[in-house]
A and B are shown apart, each in its own frame.
Chain A
């Protein structure tokens, strides 16, 4: 089942799709999307539940690094394909929606 595609979900997917091989941690995703980390977290949880995203804890010694471990997120192979499709279809407005816009006074 595909996750619900909100604008915020698309922003998170676009951030992860920017370099699909790269892992991003919560704060990086937040900076890339402009969403606050608390808002991005449930979206990532949902994407992870659907198998689009995978995550892992960073393997560091927090005392040596003087910071807590980060949780890194990346797209799975199937997730990357589905995310690209979702972002591509989201970029293309539906004709019906455009006609409605035109009917409300705009022109196409």
Chain B
């Protein structure tokens, strides 16, 4: 008895069509997902590149600002050193102890200026330089010691002023 080949029924055709459609849909979904992932990856890449460029720019700006600040501080401190050193020269070299004091004063002042907000530190050092320069050479060591003694007070006052400025700016921004 020969077996007749089985004719596709309406149901099997529908099932095949549904399967084909499902396959097409799956492939389309996969393609779409791949495309979305690719676009997202590209966007993330661009964003990452932009962020990296931003960070590099910020680091470069910060490094430039720091270098400028350090150069500025060096210039001011050398001015103070000249002023203090001038007094030592005028004392005919009998001020080795003063020289030690002068160096210590400068070290403490430089440290204190670094602890302060940068602009305040520069301003303090510049004003100290100006005062020491114009003072009678004999009085310079005492004035230097006074600057050293009051340095912690200046650090506190400088930060208080900075915080006051910051809170005022914040209050203004809130009002706007």
Contact = CB atoms under 8 A, between A and B. Distances in A.
Interface of A: 25-27, 30, 36-39, 41-42, 45-46, 48-49, 67-71
A41 B131 CA distance: 11
Contacts of B164: 49
Contacts of A38: 128, 143, 146-151
A26 B131 contact: yes
Interface string B111-154: 00000000000011011111101110000001100111111011
A69 B154 contact: no
A39 B148 CA distance: 10
A45 B143 contact: no
Given A26-B130, A67-B134, A68-B126, A37 B146 contact: yes
Interface residues of B, number: 28
Nearest to A68: B130
B119 to A, nearest CB: 12
Contacts of B143: 36-38
B134 A27 contact: yes
Nearest to B131: A37
A49 B166 CA distance: 12
Contacts of A26: 127, 130-131
Given A26-B127, A38-B147, 14 more contacts: A26-B131, A27-B134, A37-B131, A37-B135, A38-B128, A38-B148, A38-B151, A41-B147, A41-B150, A45-B161, A49-B157, A71-B123, A71-B126, A71-B130
A71 B146 contact: no
Contacts of A27: 130-131, 134-135
Contacts of B135: 27, 37
